Structure 1
Amino acid sequence: MDGYAPLDELSSQDDLQLLPMDLPPLPPRFIVPPLTDKPQNPIMDTVKQEIEAYKRQPLHYLPKELSLLAAQPSSPPHLTFSTLWLDALTRNFGLRNKALSWDRLRPSYPSHASSTGFLSEQDSLVFAAARYHVNLRLRDLSVNVVYVTQNNLLNALKMTVLGTSSVYHTWDPSSERFVQACLGDNQKGFLLVDGKDEVISQSIISRFLTIGNLLRRLEVLLDTLRARSAKEDPTVHAYAHALSTIVTFLRQALSRCPPVNDPLSTQSHTLSAIWMHYEIYEEILVSLGDMCGRGETTLPETYPPFHLSPVVLVSTIYSHLERHIERQSPHTILAILAYVLTHVSHEYLQEVSRSVGYGTDSLKKASRDTGQSLNHHEEDEENEEDEESQDIHEPSSDTFPDFFPPALLDILPVARKSLVLLEKAQPDHPILQGTMTQGVIQWFWTESAIESAWEGHYPNSNFASASAPPVITTRTAEDEEHPEFLIFQLFNQEPGTIANPSSAAPEAEAATHSLRTFIDEFPAALPPITPTLSHLASLVLAPLVQHASTLSSALLTLFLTPSTTKRDTLNFQTHLSLLRSYLLVAAPPFKSRLAAALLSDKEDCDSEQTSHGMTISSLRRSGSKKRGHGKGERQPWAVGLAPSLLERETWPPVGADLSFFLRTVIVDSFENVARDADEAKISRSRVLEEAEYRLGFAIRDLPTGPGRDKWLNPLAIEALDFLYMDYKVPSAMEVLITHDILSKYQRMFAFILRLMRVEHALGSLFRMTRSLHNPLFPTLATSRKRLLHFRFVAQSFVSSLSAYVSDTAIAGNFDPFLACLSPPKDGHEAAFSDVFALARGHSKLLDDMLSACLLRSGQRAVGELLRSALELILEFTIVVGELYRARMEEYQAAPLLEDISKKFFEKMAKLVRNCCLASARCDVLICPC
């Protein structure tokens, strides 16, 4: 007793003042005698006590009332003590129940012997009576207590688990749960089973109420889904049908559960056995309620919204099934959730399959062909093609379920676009005809089906027809003679041969039979081949991944393989050759004719002698009028430009003569293309024949404003930026040559035109300074030396830059790219997985070219240095031209040339320094010096 003070120490005056003085003290009324110091023998002591108990005389101290109650009516007064009270007084162990109470007087009291003295281990009625006597319940008008017998309660709860109201519980639509019947406003109540206390009674009833609440909530959800429009997604209707089948199946199973009101039934179950019998149904409905967002603890106003999206719906079912598999839930729960997933995802999987042309049936093709034949308007067809092409290039915003493997997620959007392109490029392709044997993408669960799929043999039939009850039909000779009577062959069956004799609800009966068969055939665990649900999903979707990959490869092969048919215009390599030859100005015939049309390297601005003497402008011009070198002309000489472009004295030049002359540039350049007779060149020649209308020049309006109107000045290096070259790509190849890629080609074309303009300007400079007898600076020797030195440096820089652009920036990137464009062969994979990867590679090719020419947005600073250097060279040639035309004196031109040369060398120093730093940082040779 360490830490506790004895009672005597607490009896001080100070302590007694704190205690209430009107209560008497409570001294101990018993003592525990000490054990004797002798050996103990429990067996002999117990025998002696029993012998003494039998020899002990009864004590006659009981009241007469008890003696009269216990005595028999005809017994004499001296025999008023019955065996009941006699045994209680003499403590006869092992003969009767040890519990002593008034309740023992009733005849139905259990009189069998009990091996324990604890009340909690006595008979249920004894224990309930003891608890009621000890914990006497106060009467509360706000609490309605209903005492029911066990049989009546079980019969009522049997109706509750079926979702029907009973005499004790009714359905409350506001809270969507069963509540106790006959309760007033603001009144609580509970049922009290005979022999059970309040806690045990509520524990027993709670399982039955849970089953009834969840079953009824699922029915309410089904009523909501059935009320929706029939035009909604079929996945939602499949979800409703699967839930309806499960609810019907559960109600049928619950109706057969005990207690059964059958007078012929001999089954008798204890309350605990009945309570455990409903455990599996509670677990099933709890799992279904959680999947549907209708858990018992969830209030109706807090229900999660029902997602109509098939992706969300299928992903939710899959996640619940995967969670129960990881928890190793009972077999029935796994089978039911797998049944829901199989039926709900079936239509969605077929839709995904149809989106990539997998398992396309003839009916779909016929409907599509019919739709095309009814469309007679060519303009509408062109508009639809344009919209389809735009949709192809836009990034797909579709989402997919969680169980789709990463390989399928990567290739499925690509395969969808590839299917549209392949139908447009080659409608008669074998992969579009459905000639290959393709199974149905569907879930399979049995070990035999999984092993068969692992070996490559996927099921070809629908799961719904395979699991339906068989219907035996027989055909007679009369049916063959009269085929119109085949609709009555159902009535030719023998009695009992029809698997579904019920004519009231054959569909519901077939559905429950399908579910029952599915549960029976569902394996206890997944096989070792697919140990988890994700492995099984990968196996189920493997044919779709293979088909999508084959579809992408087929389209890629179509674009990369030369052909001699009418589809030879889809050869991507030929289109790349055209783009390189014309938009990158790599073809010598085209480059020379383009330079003759737009540029000039003559030392005089006289426009009399042109390369094309029969232009419209030359016919308008008088033959005797020439441009002189007089000072009356106000506009400086735009060195490097063709004189015919400056004839109208407006910039940019517009008119029929310019468009006609540029059109002949393209047509004349085709005449020098060699046309060989071998088959490899036939495809190239046919594409080149179409290039006459695929290629063309166009004029665009550039932005104007402070600092952005240099293209309006023929003296600026941006004078030719208004002109660009357009390329009409075939609609089937717009995925490989997009508008973004064409814009990059046009940026390269504008840069090459600027470079050609500076080259021709330097050619004019050399012509103007080649005379040794009549130099430009006859009296200023220093300025003349500076002129010659700057001419040499500028010519060396421009020629090196031009060679770098054509050999390194263009050819150095284009040639390796063309070498990778070989179609996939047996045993060798292509460099690109699909056409969209090829398009990304094409775009990266142009990005590398722009980076090599310092034309990317991230290279704005160093690119501006290169543009300024070329602009200073052009300005230098213009000043020399003004001096050559005697429109400027020596002393006026000398400081201008000195200032231009100084700025040029400063720009070159910065350019070389920045280029070397950039090349050291990114390991890319971008320095053109």
Structure 2
Amino acid sequence: MTDTHDSLPDRVVAELPPLNTRFYVPNLADKPQNPIIDNLKALADLAAPPVQPTLLLKREIVDRPVNQPRSGPPRTGGTANLWQKACDNDFLHGTVLRSWDSWQPLQKQDVMYSPYISEQPPHTFVASRHFIRPQLSDAATKIIYVEQSEFLASLMSTLMGATSKLHVWDPQRECFILRGVHRDMSGILSIIGKDETITHSCLSRFLTIGTLSRRLEVLVRSLGLSASPTLHAFSYAVDSLLAFARVNILDYIGNDGHEPPSLNAIWVACEDVANMLAACAEVCGRGVDRSPDQYPPVPDSIGLLSVIYQHCVSHFERSSPTLVKAATALILTLTSRHYLQTICSAIAYSGSRTSLDQHSKSGQSDGGEYENPDFSDVVAERYPSFISKPLKNSLISAQKSLTILQDACPDHPLLLKPAHSSPITWYWTEGEIDRAWTGGPHEPVASNPLKRATPEPLDASEGAAKYEPELLGLRVYDLEPGSHATNPELWGPVRAFMNDFPKRLPIVVPTIGDLTNLVFSPLAEQASVLSQAVLDIFLTPLSSPSPTPVVDLHIHSHLTVLRSYQLLASHSFKSKLSAALFSDSEDWASGGRRSALSLAARRNTKGTPGLVSDDKVWPVGLSASLLEKDSWPPGGTDLSFFLRTVVVDAMEVMRPRTVDPTGETPSAYDESEWRIGFAIRDLPSGKGQDKWLDPCCTALDFLYLEYQPPRPLQIVVGPDVLSKYQRIFAFNLRLLRVENVVRMLHRLSRTCRRPPFGTLTKANALFLHFRFLAHTFVAQLCSYVYDTAIRRHFDSFLFEISIAREGRNGRRFSDVFELARYHSDVLDNILIACLLRSGQKAAGDALRSCLETVMELGILAGELTRGRLEEYQAESILEQLYSAFKRRVSRLVR
């Protein structure tokens, strides 16, 4: 049993078949290995020429029929002969014609595809993806499978933005949805032979084109109800681009008898159209990624032009496709045309301004103030973004200048004929830009590059009606429906604009900003010419040759009058005004009787004693005639008459010898007799009234000098400027009164026989010292005010005007509004020098307190002279005033 069991494994192992290896590893020779040499030998074997097969004799093949078997034993061993293989093939038995390529070994040439699944045939690729990622069943998703031919048949309608067999338009969401899909479900379209992902990738571009086309069409239809010419032009521009896109699609996909292009070719060809429509939709705020509730409202004309220009600049800066840049440029060109015409008309660039008809051409130069001093009725508040800030300021100044020019000189050449014949328009082609850069004439077509061609006249044989020349446009209604619908002439200008649009701007204007400056450079020149024309009228004397304004607007003459009267620069007016309103007499009973120029002397009456009662304070420095009626502020016809006499008499002295040689226009000096005059302010209520009724403090603040400039001159001498003049005039009146008080103090103490303090020597010495300090302070203050504060600034301003007219210092003022600003700044400097600005209240109060102290010294001397105050009582008051004066002067000069 043991032997049997021991031999059993040996028998089982012997019955098993041998396990032979399927590979062989040759044994290495017992010598050093040289892999470089071995590699070279292998390459040499591969480069060996192939073994040429042994050829049979042609006679052996031809003489023996193909279908007859070969004689002789079959050949054994070795490689079969080429000719023998050729004769053994059955499919060659039909012919005996042989060629060298058919003698090669015949084998099945299988097509070798790429190892990538995405590069396999469509059906293989779709099957692979479906096998790897099977479509999950979803009750809320409906998959629609269509043949490619069916998809291409409905593609044209989709691209045109119309409903097709596959897609319908949803007016609420403004997008295309699959036909037959419920609103609560989502649909997926799959082209047979392509999976859902590829179908969606191809379909997305086509649906984008159709959706944007339909959205733009709806927008164009809604804008047709607008009354704005700019919105109408914008609607036309978008409609033209929409038609251009559809015509391009029709030209490429239209069935004209040739084989239709493939789906991939259509997808590639629609790329430019899709980009163009996307750019147009972004301008309109109708992008494909927006829902209808996210649409921005249509802006006004100015806002719309700004949006279009910003998109145009963005596309040029990003180097967008040429078709996209051309589309935005077309929208900008057409939409801004009416606005550019309005700007040209507003500054008399290419015709008379429309708003000029609101004013008559005569009798308005001196008809009171402007209804809108800021010219808000003729000047726009907002401008598009393509109007730069310097150009905006120039246009505003030009529009105001045109209104002033029409009032001042209606016969000016700039108002009689337009300055330019070619309107302002956008330039895009290199030829137009070169002509604009060199200043050459523009071609007529450039002014209206997108004008639609007029249809050809109808043939008389067709029974066409005869129309008058002004009704020729109605001929189109005599045509058969659709006869001119595909006429290329209708969209020829738009197509030419889009096709001829340059890929980049010329080197002379490399950016859109430079192009904008070039386009509007004629407007800037016209604005400068218009502003300079008005400025010349203001700077030109009346004796200069034409054009002659209807009134004397020589600004130098008017400012000289204001300087003489409002600033008291005229010695004649200042002396006459001082004699009429003030008095330096030491005799309180006689008042102003001693002055030959006083009101009492002019009435040829004697001063009435006792004008100032014993129970009232003597208002030193004031003329006694102001107190006759015992009321304040004084009034009456006598005061008005004598103040008018002061103005007229002073004007006779300062009137120049040079006047208008024609004698047709009165000069500014002649008109000043009625343009300038005194007036009385209304009394305020409350605490301020008490101060005005006290003639010892701000006695003459009620009186101001009024000036009525001609209406065109109100730009330079407006209400704000006149208020500054009046503040300076009121300050000068205070100085005049203080000057008279100082002179009155001198008269009181000039004699040694009757000193103010006869019994108090120390007090008298203090009084004389105080009088000297007050006189020095007031004299220095008056000298500073008239010589430094006023003459230094105002005389230099008049000198600037003189040299600006003569042109010795270039163009000091660009327009009359800069002259007005300079005039206002000069007055501000004078107010600052006189401590009259609101920001100088502390210093102004200190100066005012010093002047009031001097006046209180005069009142003290007057009361002491009248005997109402004893010397010992006045001594303590004098010491207090002296200490207060020193303290206040120190605080002022600190």
- TM class by shorter chain equals 0.7 to 0.9
Deviation string 1:607-651 (CA, Å, 9 cap, x unpaired) is 482657996999899x6952299xx71111100000011122221
Given candidates 171, 181, 184, the residue that maps to 1:183 is: 181
- Equivalent pair of 2:540/2:805 in contact (CA under 8 Å): no
How far apart, CA to CA, are the structure 2 residues paired with 1:675 and 1:785? 50
- Equivalent pair of 2:176/2:207 in contact (CA under 8 Å): yes
Given candidates 422, 435, 439, the residue that maps to 1:439 is: 422
- Residues 395 and 796 of structure 1: is their aligned pair in 2 closer, same or farther, counting only changes over 3 Å? farther
- Residues 608 and 780 of structure 1: is their aligned pair in 2 closer, same or farther, counting only changes over 3 Å? closer
How far apart, CA to CA, are the structure 2 residues paired with 1:633 and 1:221? 90
How far apart, CA to CA, are the structure 2 residues paired with 1:227 and 1:32? 88
Which residue of the partner structure matches residue 727 of structure 1?
Answer: 707
Matched residue type, 2:252: C
Look up the SS of the partner of 1:146 in the other structure: strand
Stretches of structure 2 lacking an aligned partner (at least 5 in a row): 1-20, 29-37, 47-104, 458-465
Deviation string 1:687-723 (CA, Å, 9 cap, x unpaired) is 211111001000002534346742221111x110000
Given candidates 293, 297, 321, the residue that maps to 2:285 is: 293
How far apart, CA to CA, are the structure 1 residues paired with 2:487 and 2:852? 85
How far apart, CA to CA, are the structure 2 residues paired with 1:883 and 1:756? 23
Matched residue type, 2:249: L
Deviation string 1:31-53 (CA, Å, 9 cap, x unpaired) is 998987898989999xxxxxxxx
Which residue of the partner structure matches residue 524 of structure 1?
Answer: 503
Deviation string 1:60-103 (CA, Å, 9 cap, x unpaired) is xxxxxxxxxxxxxxxxxxxxxxxxxxxxxxxx998476xxxxxx
Pairing 1:569–2:569 present = no
Task: Please report how far the alpha carbon of residue 602 of structure 1 lies from its aligned counterpart in structure 2 after TM superposition.
Answer: 0.5
Pairing 1:350–2:326 present = no
Task: Please report how far the alpha carbon of residue 390 of structure 1 lies from its aligned counterpart in structure 2 after TM superposition.
Answer: 1.6
How far apart, CA to CA, are the structure 2 residues paired with 1:857 and 1:449? 57
How far apart, CA to CA, are the structure 1 residues paired with 2:153 and 2:790? 89
Query: Considering only CA atoms, is the larger Rg found in Structure 1 or Structure 2?
Result: 2
Deviation string 1:177-197 (CA, Å, 9 cap, x unpaired) is 101110124222211111111
- Residues 242 and 836 of structure 1: is their aligned pair in 2 closer, same or farther, counting only changes over 3 Å? same
Which residue of the partner structure matches residue 798 of structure 1?
Answer: 778
How far apart, CA to CA, are the structure 2 residues paired with 1:472 and 1:194? 47
Deviation string 1:173-218 (CA, Å, 9 cap, x unpaired) is 1111101110124222211111111111111111111111111111
- Equivalent pair of 2:542/2:667 in contact (CA under 8 Å): no
Task: Please report how far the alpha carbon of residue 661 of structure 1 lies from its aligned counterpart in structure 2 after TM superposition.
Answer: 1.8
Matched residue type, 1:288: C
Which residue of the partner structure matches residue 884 of structure 1?
Answer: 865
How far apart, CA to CA, are the structure 2 residues paired with 1:750 and 1:125? 101
Given candidates 239, 243, 246, the residue that maps to 1:248 is: 243
How far apart, CA to CA, are the structure 2 residues paired with 1:608 and 1:828? 51
Which residue of the partner structure matches residue 252 of structure 2?
Answer: 257
Which residue of the partner structure matches residue 577 of structure 2?
Answer: 594
How far apart, CA to CA, are the structure 2 residues paired with 1:790 and 1:438? 77
Which residue of the partner structure matches residue 739 of structure 2?
Answer: 759
Pairing 1:332–2:323 present = yes
Task: Please report how far the alpha carbon of residue 462 of structure 1 lies from its aligned counterpart in structure 2 after TM superposition.
Answer: 6.3
- Residues 382 and 573 of structure 1: is their aligned pair in 2 closer, same or farther, counting only changes over 3 Å? closer
- Equivalent pair of 1:574/1:684 in contact (CA under 8 Å): no
Task: Please report how far the alpha carbon of residue 484 of structure 1 lies from its aligned counterpart in structure 2 after TM superposition.
Answer: 10
How far apart, CA to CA, are the structure 1 residues paired with 2:826 and 2:607? 52
Matched residue type, 1:183: V
Which residue of the partner structure matches residue 644 of structure 2?
Answer: 663
Task: Please report how far the alpha carbon of residue 414 of structure 1 lies from its aligned counterpart in structure 2 after TM superposition.
Answer: 1.2
Task: Please report how far the alpha carbon of residue 563 of structure 1 lies from its aligned counterpart in structure 2 after TM superposition.
Answer: 2.0
Which residue of the partner structure matches residue 538 of structure 1?
Answer: 517
- Equivalent pair of 1:583/1:746 in contact (CA under 8 Å): yes
How far apart, CA to CA, are the structure 1 residues paired with 2:533 and 2:163? 64
Root mean square deviation of aligned Cα: 3.6
Matched residue type, 2:593: Q
Which residue of the partner structure matches residue 700 of structure 1?
Answer: 681
- Equivalent pair of 1:389/1:731 in contact (CA under 8 Å): no
Look up the SS of the partner of 1:734 in the other structure: helix
- Equivalent pair of 1:882/1:888 in contact (CA under 8 Å): yes
Look up the SS of the partner of 1:304 in the other structure: coil
Task: Please report how far the alpha carbon of residue 738 of structure 1 lies from its aligned counterpart in structure 2 after TM superposition.
Answer: 1.1
Deviation string 1:761-781 (CA, Å, 9 cap, x unpaired) is 111111112221122212111
Give aligned pairs, total: 789
Deviation string 1:830-879 (CA, Å, 9 cap, x unpaired) is 21111111001101111111111111112111111111001000000101
How far apart, CA to CA, are the structure 2 residues paired with 1:614 and 1:342? 74
How far apart, CA to CA, are the structure 2 residues paired with 1:491 and 1:339? 28
Q: Mapping of 1:144-543 within 5 angstroms?
A: 144-228=142-226, 230=227, 233-258=228-253, 260-262=254-256, 264-265=257-258, 267-308=259-300, 310-360=301-351, 386-392=369-375, 398-434=381-417, 436-457=419-440, 459=442, 461=444, 463=446, 465-468=448-451, 512-543=491-522
Deviation string 1:806-837 (CA, Å, 9 cap, x unpaired) is 11111111111111103456786221111111
How far apart, CA to CA, are the structure 2 residues paired with 1:624 and 1:534? 79
Matched residue type, 1:536: L
Q: Mapping of 1:616-765 within 5 angstroms?
A: 626-627=609-610, 633-673=614-654, 675-676=656-657, 686-706=667-687, 709-716=690-697, 718-765=698-745
- Residues 552 and 34 of structure 1: is their aligned pair in 2 closer, same or farther, counting only changes over 3 Å? farther
- Residues 616 and 591 of structure 1: is their aligned pair in 2 closer, same or farther, counting only changes over 3 Å? closer
Matched residue type, 1:530: V
How far apart, CA to CA, are the structure 1 residues paired with 2:445 and 2:619? 78
Look up the SS of the partner of 1:402 in the other structure: coil
Matched residue type, 1:627: G
Which residue of the partner structure matches residue 822 of structure 2?
Answer: 841
Deviation string 1:431-481 (CA, Å, 9 cap, x unpaired) is 22225444211001111111111111253746474544666999xxxxxxx
Task: Please report how far the alpha carbon of residue 296 of structure 1 lies from its aligned counterpart in structure 2 after TM superposition.
Answer: 0.8
- Equivalent pair of 2:145/2:190 in contact (CA under 8 Å): yes
How far apart, CA to CA, are the structure 2 residues paired with 1:158 and 1:491? 33
How far apart, CA to CA, are the structure 2 residues paired with 1:845 and 1:453? 42
How far apart, CA to CA, are the structure 2 residues paired with 1:707 and 1:906? 27
Task: Please report how far the alpha carbon of residue 491 of structure 1 lies from its aligned counterpart in structure 2 after TM superposition.
Answer: 13
Given candidates 833, 840, 843, the residue that maps to 1:852 is: 833
How far apart, CA to CA, are the structure 2 residues paired with 1:462 and 1:601? 82
How far apart, CA to CA, are the structure 1 residues paired with 2:622 and 2:473? 92
- Equivalent pair of 2:231/2:335 in contact (CA under 8 Å): yes
Deviation string 1:775-807 (CA, Å, 9 cap, x unpaired) is 221211110000100111111111111111111
Which residue of the partner structure matches residue 125 of structure 2?
Answer: 127
How far apart, CA to CA, are the structure 2 residues paired with 1:680 and 1:590? 28
- Residues 658 and 286 of structure 1: is their aligned pair in 2 closer, same or farther, counting only changes over 3 Å? same
- Equivalent pair of 2:692/2:701 in contact (CA under 8 Å): yes
Matched residue type, 2:799: A
Stretches of structure 1 lacking an aligned partner (at least 5 in a row): 1-30, 46-91, 98-112, 475-482, 493-499, 914-929
- Residues 44 and 274 of structure 1: is their aligned pair in 2 closer, same or farther, counting only changes over 3 Å? farther
Task: Please report how far the alpha carbon of residue 401 of structure 1 lies from its aligned counterpart in structure 2 after TM superposition.
Answer: 2.2
TM-score, structure 1 as length reference: 0.78
Look up the SS of the partner of 1:399 in the other structure: coil
- Residues 432 and 490 of structure 1: is their aligned pair in 2 closer, same or farther, counting only changes over 3 Å? closer
- Equivalent pair of 1:637/1:882 in contact (CA under 8 Å): yes
- Residues 866 and 617 of structure 1: is their aligned pair in 2 closer, same or farther, counting only changes over 3 Å? same
Look up the SS of the partner of 2:432 in the other structure: helix
How far apart, CA to CA, are the structure 2 residues paired with 1:213 and 1:34? 69
Look up the SS of the partner of 1:315 in the other structure: helix
- Equivalent pair of 1:765/1:880 in contact (CA under 8 Å): yes
Give identity over the alignment, percent: 38
Which residue of the partner structure matches residue 79 of structure 2?
Answer: none
- Equivalent pair of 1:356/1:419 in contact (CA under 8 Å): yes
- Equivalent pair of 1:562/1:683 in contact (CA under 8 Å): no
- Residues 160 and 860 of structure 1: is their aligned pair in 2 closer, same or farther, counting only changes over 3 Å? same
212-221 or 434-443, larger mean C-alpha shift: 434-443
Look up the SS of the partner of 1:777 in the other structure: coil
Q: Mapping of 1:574-589 within 5 angstroms?
A: 574-589=557-572
701-710 or 749-758, larger mean C-alpha shift: 701-710
